[in-house]
A and B are shown apart, each in its own frame.
Chain A
Amino acid sequence: MVYACVPLVEQTLCPRPPLVSISGISQGFELLFGIQDFLYSRQKNDIELNTKLNQLPDLLLQACPFGTLLDANLQNSLDSINFASVTQSQKQPAWKTGAYKGKPQVSISITEKVKSMQYDKQDIADTWQVVGAVTCKCDLEGITPNVTISLSLPTNGSPLQDILVHPCVTSLDSAILTSSSIDAIDDSAFSGPYKFPFTPPLESFNLCYYTSQVPVPPILGFYQIKEEEVQLKITVNLKLHESVRNNFEFCEAHIPFYNRGPITHVEYKVSFGQLEVFREKSLLIWIIGQKFPKSMEISLSGTVTFGAKNHDKQPFDQICIGSTAYLKLHFRILDYTLTGCYADQHSVQVFASGKPKISTHRKLISSDYYIWNSKAPAPITYGSLLL
């Protein structure tokens, strides 16, 4: 699917105005994001997609009357077509098309993704970063119920930074606005509680996103490859940090071999878990399971032999040239955040009729968690360059 939008520019085009001076550019972006969200959220198959595509012309008339974008949330537009007769009052936000009727409840879930690049090299620093998203669904009666959610950190928690909030958040503490990953962290950094007062929309929404610099990566890895004629000697060590909750939903290390032939033979020894071999895909998957052993350290060593290269079947990669190689960790830990960030049920304030049931969820997911072969060059970012 290609999304395109042509904004109207009512000014002289010569000299060419900079894009940033044309308000239609961001409106166009917003509309396209809105269309993308509408088409792909809650969509299960092509029939649904086609149904939604057929609704688009009417929705666009609703969302952009006379060509001016008023609301990029097309689901809202659809709802307002369907519930046009719902009586609205002045304080009714334009982005809220109706009112909830039923048992009041507020659901808050915090999802943290951790990514990392580990090199195990003298002159290159390992990097890791946590990106969090707080998703809310507020089923509350009344036109504009007010909710304040506070995110808290334990005493040794890592401060939240780069906080971006949903437009329904009505005010922000300046400390939230200014805490940024650009600055070095020191003890004086604002560490919460992070208060977000807002008037919730009807649908589930992302209240805020944040990043954080945790002091250590949850799993520290070491990966080494030695080329010996037709076979590779590999060594992998993984160490779970003691502060991390040792209770995974799953944990796997994927060890792909690019630009080589199929795996013909593997000899290996794992201190923990099992190894699965996908010969044609030139891939090893080390299934670590739900828990690291008491020592928190596990290792894998072995030799892998490859057959003749067949370009059609084996994966090609532009990064993994020569001995440049990585292993990628996939794991998920429920009811846990790496920053320690949590939403305390008691700190959620709701100004609406009835006492709502408040539920909170947390999870940590790996995302782009790479451990590079320390014996070969690896792609780096500017941040990992040491002086």
Chain B
Amino acid sequence: MGPPGREAWAQRLAAFRASPAAFLAGPDGEDLGRALLDDLRSERPSEPTKVSLLALSLEFAAQLWPDAPAAEAAATCLLDTLLLLPPRPSALRRPLLLAATTVLVTGGALSPSSAAARRLLPLLLDLAAGRDPGRGFGPASEQRPLQATACECLRELESCRPGLLGGCVGLLRGVLAREGPVQPLGLLLALALRHASGSPTGARAALRSLLTAAELPPGPAPCRWTLEEEDTGRLRPHASSWPDAQAGPCGLVALEPSPQEARELRALVTQLLDASYLLAPAAQAQLLWLLGWALRGLPGPPPALFKPQLVRLLGTAQVTLLHAVLGLKAAFGEALFTAQDEALLLRRLALAAQHPALPLPSQLFYLHCLLRFPENCPLGPAAKEARPPLLLSAPLCRGLLPSLLQEPPVLLARLRLLCLLCAEGDGEEPGPSPLRYLEMLLAGLRQRAALDGAPRASAALCFQASYLAAGGLAGQSPTLSTLTHGLAWLYRTRPALAPHFVDLLNKVGPELGPPLRGVLRQEVLSQPGGGETLRWHLQMLAEVVTAEAQGAILQFLRAAAPHCADWGLQQALLRVCRVLLRGGVGGGGLADLLQVLASQLGDPDARDHARLYYMLLAHLAAPRLASALAPSLAAPALTSSLVAENQGFTASLMIQEAPAPLRLSVGPRRAGGPTPALQLLVEALEPAFSLELRFSAPGQLYGPLRALHVPCLHPGRPAGPLHLPLQPRRPAPASLDVQALYTTPSGHTRHACLPPLPVGLADLFLPFPQPPDGSGPRFFEELWDACLPGGAESRLWCPLGSQGLDAWVGCHLQPFVVAARPPTSYHVAIRLPPDSRLLLRLEAAQTEGVPVALRTDNWAVLPLAGDYLRGLSPAA
């Protein structure tokens, strides 16, 4: 199959772009990278198709060639394609250079060991220096765009390998002097300087190259692949935060440049700055940020070099340029900006923040810059956040204050400034009081929100503004009081805003929360019980109930109850009761109310709830009640209060799964009693009350096992052994499933599954009743003979330990011995419930072992008995 044509590629690329990951995981995914490279080399696809293929490899290099070997191979292929292009104009050279660089960088193949990187770097340097790399590399008309592209590629390599081109600074400067493309070269030089400023050796290399290399020397390119140890910690590629003027220079003071070096460096910086107006504004800003950093680290050029640019920059309203000036201000402080300069900068920012000709986002950004203006901040804690810049005087702010006619984001941003001014203001500034204006503004917002049919956005804006004002005016009690009463008015006028109020109450701090709760409670309680607004009042009340007003609250609820006709209202009513219960508020009055509700509410579910609450109130003490009704921690992310409430309630009433609070093990056997039984040892891991242990045996091996009860368990306090009787239906070992049900100290019931408990054959052994003295041997012989012919017989050899047969029997089989002639002969008879027997005849013991003859009336027991005997330890 030949290579796909233009249409096929277009479809393939569209499918890839729609979902790169899905495409790569699909059947065509594996081949895409290879097919793309093949087609770039092939002559068949048209140039525009190839350009679109290259655009794709630029955009998705990391997906197409994700690891270093693949990236290396792809970059090699791209470079080959580039060098094989016929020497006529082509739109492919620039994207090929960009793609090769991108692939090397994103694939992590950029290193001195990469052959492709070793080919690419000299090629880029040649192109950047405006020299023909040979073999008719492109026509002359393409020289300049290629030169620019090569510079951009070099800049990317330097970004990823800080310091790589430190030694080429002199060379690049020479190119700039010979009329190289000013923007890409300028940015590349600035980046190289910025990186050189990060390390003494880098700086040294850059300075040296400034003096020597105006021409590319023959031989390998002067690139520094490896960075010294000391560099790596400090250099982050192209960090975008501004440097801090207070932090002092970056630590290269020790590097003393020679006068000649210092002169050259200064000349270079001046050259870059002088040509900066030829750069596009965004690139100019980049250059300024980079040079700002570079000059912070490099000894020699003073920050005053920036001065001639400042007036030009301050005159524009370009976001990037003014921001870069702020960056310089932060970096150099007083070294570059006198107090007057600083005041001018602030004025320009203030006017840009309110200039009607600028778009809103710019205005907001400038306002943010004003509030975060880098200056020597006033001393004291929290000074950075809580006050406007020192030089931002009230007259300067006058045009920056909010008004009702503004868009909500602008209004809120400016409101923040207004609050700062109010908090600052000592009442001595000329002009109307900002506090009074703030009150008027908030009142206007409330009026809008109160309007019947006003959109949700205007209510939201009012509450956002109130929240901001409450936070900003913590110390201004008269204004806070006005705000509180204004909000109470708003609630009275439009109770449907109750959800907004609930939200606000949950967010505001102590300066507004408690007083607002108080006035809102009064508002609600002064309302008549019925009407359309009842549900809002109930919702509000659930948020603001307190113990002090319980009489009035209960009265309100009693009056409201007959009006609660539908399920929703009844639930809202019950919700208030629930909050009262939880807070331990209400007492007898609440009990009466709940009783009334339990009989009078229309909805059965609501009646049940009321009854349940009544029962809980009557039977549980206050702390227990609170925990039974508290919202569950298990469901903190649920936003609906209904669901959350239900979850909390369910959690307290339902049994939750939990890890086991104890460890169980089988203790020493104690033969005796009418049935076999296990002695269980308990080790408590957590406190547990009313513990119930439930056991079950698989496959009907045993009869029902009864549950065991322990009143209380505490870690560290020993608990007595537990006695678990077994009722085997067949004499067989088993593994018992164990479950624990218990109450935690917090009152919740928990359920846990414990590890299974093994029951061995020996656990089922019971002795025969002791025959009368002297009749033992005969009794045994009768049993022995009775086993056959229905039963089974076997013989085996049991190894004995050093202590001999006597000790071995004493250790394992003592309760079951019916006749013995110690130390050589023992006759053992064992009952195996329900109705089997196992007889052992141990005679003629030798020093190392004893032959054992087994007989049983149940053939199924024989292999189990054999296993048991073989498993007995030789020595006890």
Contacts and interface: CB of A to CB of B under 8 A. Distances in A.
A and B: partners?
A: yes
Interface of A: 7-11, 17-27, 29-33, 57-58, 61, 65-66, 68-73, 76, 84-85, 87-95, 113, 115, 129, 131, 133, 162-172, 174, 176-178, 180-182, 199, 209, 211, 311, 316, 318-319, 321, 379-383, 385-387
B350 interface: yes
B315 A163 contact: yes
Given A22-B240, A169-B316, A66 B280 contact: no
B9 interface: no
Contacts of A85: 89, 141-142, 145
Nearest to B236: A10
A177 B190 CA distance: 29
Nearest to B282: A69
B791 to A, nearest CB: 78
A113 B356 CA distance: 10
Contact of A26 (B159, B182, B323, B432): B323
Given A84-B145, A382-B437, A72 B432 contact: no
B311 A318 contact: no
A90 B180 contact: yes
24 contacts: A7-B240, A10-B240, A20-B369, A21-B241, A26-B319, A26-B320, A29-B320, A31-B282, A33-B319, A61-B58, A66-B98, A72-B280, A72-B320, A87-B141, A93-B280, A131-B357, A133-B357, A171-B312, A172-B312, A181-B399, A318-B448, A379-B404, A385-B432, A387-B431
Contacts of A167: 277, 281, 284, 316, 318, 321
B437 A385 contact: yes
B239 A29 contact: no
B693 to A, nearest CB: 49
A72 B282 contact: yes
Contacts of B813: none
A2 B20 CA distance: 23
B55 A23 contact: no
A382 B398 contact: yes
B401 interface: yes
Interface of B: 55, 58-59, 89, 91, 94, 98, 101-102, 141-142, 144-145, 149, 152, 155-156, 159, 179-183, 187, 236-242, 277-286, 289, 311-312, 314-324, 326-327, 330, 344, 347-348, 350-352, 355-359, 361-362, 365, 368-369, 372, 374, 395-396, 398-399, 401, 403-405, 431-432, 434, 436-437, 440, 444, 447-448, 451, 453-455, 458
A383 B437 CA distance: 10
B351 A181 contact: yes
Given A22-B241, A85-B141, A169 B398 contact: no
Contact of B448 (A26, A84, A87, A321): A321
A24 to B, nearest CB: 5
Given A87-B144, A319-B404, A379-B404, A23 B240 contact: yes
B55 A177 contact: no
Contacts of B277: 93, 167-168, 170, 199
B57 to A, nearest CB: 11
Contacts of A176: 315
A70 B183 contact: yes
A309 to B, nearest CB: 10
Contacts of A17: 241
4 closest Cβ contacts across the A-B interface? A90-B179, A26-B323, A71-B280, A209-B357
A209 B875 CA distance: 105
Interface secondary structure of B, over-half rule: helix
B315 A57 contact: no
B316 A65 contact: no
Nearest to A382: B401
Contacts of B399: 181-182, 383
B237 A10 contact: yes
Contacts of B458: 318
B357 A172 contact: no
A17 B330 CA distance: 14
Contacts of B398: 182, 382-383
Contacts of A18: 372
B242 A23 contact: yes
B327 A164 contact: no
A277 B21 CA distance: 61
B239 A171 contact: no
Nearest to B240: A23
B453 A72 contact: no
A177 B311 contact: yes
A219 to B, nearest CB: 19
Contacts of B437: 382, 385
Nearest to B361: A29
Contact of A30 (B149, B240, B281): B281
Nearest to A67: B156
B365 A71 contact: no
Nearest to B384: A18
A386 B444 CA distance: 18
A23 B239 CA distance: 9
Contact of A93 (B102, B141, B278, B315): B278
B451 A318 contact: yes
A25 B365 contact: yes
Contacts of A115: 356
Nearest to B455: A318
Nearest to B284: A167
A188 to B, nearest CB: 17
Contacts of B279: 93-95
Contact of B286 (A58, A68, A380): A68
Contacts of A66: 98, 101-102, 152, 155-156, 159
B323 A25 contact: yes
Nearest to A164: B317
**Of listed B280, B286, B311, residue having the most chain A CB within 10 A:** B280
Contact of B368 (A20, A65, A72): A20
Contacts of B152: 65-66
A356 B355 CA distance: 33
B404 A71 contact: no
A382 B280 contact: no
Given A22-B241, A89-B179, A94 B278 contact: yes
Nearest to B437: A382
A192 to B, nearest CB: 16
A177 B330 contact: no
Given A32-B361, A85-B141, 7 more contacts: A8-B240, A65-B152, A89-B179, A95-B281, A177-B311, A180-B347, A387-B431
**Of listed B155, B319, B444, residue having the most chain A CB within 10 A:** B319
Given A169-B315, A382-B403, A164 B355 contact: yes
Given A87-B144, A316-B453, A165 B316 contact: yes
Contacts of B447: 321
Contacts of A166: 316
B783 to A, nearest CB: 81
Contacts of B374: 20
Contacts of B183: 70, 94
Nearest to B159: A66
Contacts of B280: 70-73, 76, 93-95
Contacts of B327: 23
A177 B316 CA distance: 10
A33 B359 contact: yes
Contacts of A68: 155, 187, 286
